[in-house]
Homo-oligomer: A and B are copies of this chain.
């Protein structure tokens, strides 16, 4: 288990990502979740050329921050990341968590500057997509363009849900929603929906959900006492996803 901590991948292919830094898009286990989906074979080969596959970053590595000049958007290849925005007074908000196949840095496109910071939560790798070239390619690959817009739109839609969560949900509903969201994303990636590692700290979860760490801690305890989940440090098992769903509000 080199870079991704999440137990045994159900798709054998997914293991490949961990070991080969230079695997091509068409052979990548993430293909069906990733940008190239729907591209013609030739186009894909071309796109493949411009993608820069990173070496493994250690936990806590900053992919970019607000001082980094904007040239690329990133796709998580293995591991996981968090993004944060900061206020002048130092307060920080965790705006999202990102897993393999998910895009980071799209909110930087319009200003051509990163407005946020991205940090790895564990040993991780990314595919770097130089934005200029991506845009050039889009001009001749309508499918690529559609994919990019689609990605942006999906994140937008997710953020609206997150706004609802932050603005309207109770602590209990927030955590239940969060756990199921993570579960779903692991499942989509061929991992168990019930048992997984929370790669982020309790502090990160609390921050992301607009709660205090203590509240998260208490909720974990209560959920466990109620037989909804079982936690042991970073590991978590969803014991009653159905009841958890009902708690989402």
Contacts and interface: CB of A to CB of B under 8 A. Distances in A.
A34 B74 CA distance: 28
Given A152-B152, A159-B160, A168-B210, 10 more contacts: A83-B160, A85-B163, A95-B164, A107-B160, A109-B149, A115-B157, A135-B145, A155-B156, A156-B156, A162-B163
B146 A142 contact: no
Contacts of A162: 163
Per CB-CB distance, the 6 closest pairs between chain A and chain B, nearest first, are: A167-B210, A109-B153, A166-B166, A110-B153, A152-B152, A110-B154
A208 B106 CA distance: 24
Interface in A121-157: 135, 138-139, 142, 145-146, 148-157
A164 B85 CA distance: 7
A168 B153 CA distance: 25
Contact of A160 (B95, B110, B209): B95
Nearest to A164: B93
Given A107-B160, A142-B135, A154-B110, A167 B207 contact: yes
A4 B138 CA distance: 38
Interface residues of A, number: 45
Interface string A189-206: 000000000000000000
Contacts of A110: 149-151, 153-154, 157
A111 interface: yes
